[in-house]
Structure 1
Amino acid sequence: MFIKDIIRRIKIIGHVLTRCDVPNNFAQWFLYAIARGHPFDGWKTRLSRYMREWFPTLSLKGLWGGKWVLTFDPGDITHMVIFEELVINRTWNLDLVPFEPDLIIDVGAHIGIFASLAGVRFRQARVICIEPDQANLIWLRHNLKMNLVTARVIEGAAGDSDGRIFFEPGLSYGGRVVEKEISDRPTLEVANISLRRIILEENPKCLLLKIDIEGAEELVLPTILEVLSPPCFLFLETHGGNDSYQRIANICKAVGFQLTLTRSHGNMRECYAIMPQK
């Protein structure tokens, strides 16, 4: 088992370092590769404690010749998992967007990985981030600032109407909206934000929309589809297995979206959808 673990970690390091396109940032990428297999959380091993003390944060430059940078916690595995998905594996590849958006909305913005990537790639676009988790909001604002992305950050959870709702913090990417009376974990009352209202107020001509809201997409998507107009590009993660994905796919196709499934893992399905200009 020990040898297998070493081999696994060497493979992680090799895979990560082949994606580093900024030579003077190589050391930070190397440290990320180590942390990805052995988080610097400060308590599991002596190595973890030392690395936590020496490297409490990492800043990785990458994509487009180092024009983008992300600062994150190498002790938080969820920060690194999302970085791996979006930057190393390019799960949501901005090269697929066939137009220059005038508005980018990141729903479930987490620590700002997608919002800052898209904001750097499409500098002329307005950016709106919706995120309910207070810990994530600190990192989100920092990463937007580091990339000189001016964004409107809305503290709350996207929903089908405006109001108040209960939010259960989990891992940084696993918080979710819940019914307080059936939750057996601590919850917070947060703002419920009508995504439909935001889109109508902003009235975009070319919208790039990312939605990753831990299962609430089946509630939110039906309320906005009729107010979306071409061209529109959607990155989406669903959380209810094949049945949920098919329901969402059907209602998206009904209004003119062309969907492509990019990854399936567990109950989650990642896809992108294009509503082309008519």
Structure 2
Amino acid sequence: MSIPSSKIYAYADDTAILVQGRTWEEVKAKAEFALSEIMNWLDLNLLTLNLSKTYFIPFAIRRNTKPTNTFAITAHSCQSRMVLCTCPTIVKADSVKYLGVHIDDGLRWEKHLDTLSNRTLRLIHIFKSLRESAGFDTLKMVYLALCQSIIGYCITAWGGAAKTCFLRAERAQRAILKVMTGKPRRYPTTQLYIDCQVLTVRQLFVLRSVLRVHGCLPPSDPRKRTYIPSSIQHNTSFAKRQYYVLSVHIYKKLQKELDIIDLNKYRVNLKTTEWLKQQDYIKTESLLTYIT
């Protein structure tokens, strides 16, 4: 179904509706209309919306632009809204978990990175037990299967988060690598990644961003693949940390370094991965610096 001024994102039985407006009053009206349309559609198809598991998040970049505490969205089922309405309101949340990702109202990804770090650290006991009987190659395969799969999940969504939040995930990753290789707590970080030959969390974000942008380019035809996607210009630091802005800038910088535009995706993956393994923390962070 299609609802005016709204976007619907659905996967199995998890559905999200995105509504935007110039004022919170406009957002409220559009959201209640969209919710009413969905409830009517469900009713016609003999289905019911579970309001106890339905939440809304008012997104705002700055705290002073957030709606007041009295802001609420009502799930109207009454025919007329002019009379006293007793329809229930849905719960307001600061963050929700959608398809395994914790989305907060400021898109700062703090809660998701905390959850990610905790999930990663819970793997320590596995590597403590396994390192006594397995070689490094086996340990690395287990790391890629268990740890990096957790770290890399939806990383293009949250991988541009501020360094102050992002360090939590990288510390958790380093803890796993030190346990896996039996290194002391104060073992040098740079040497640790050289020994393990794995990407840092931020480097993994860079790699995934480059591959996604590269996959959107025209087919590998020299007559067609002669351009790089145009940059999206934004002035706010918030926008500059988001994938849809940051990914193109990262790709442009990697293109200047590696000349990857005419390579297939497999070779781009190999070439970019090997280059990233040779870069230090400062160089990796410089790739995320917004250029004009």
Give the alignment's TM-score, normalised by structure 2.
Answer: 0.29
Bigger helix fraction? 2
Bigger strand fraction? 1
Greater C-alpha Rg: 2
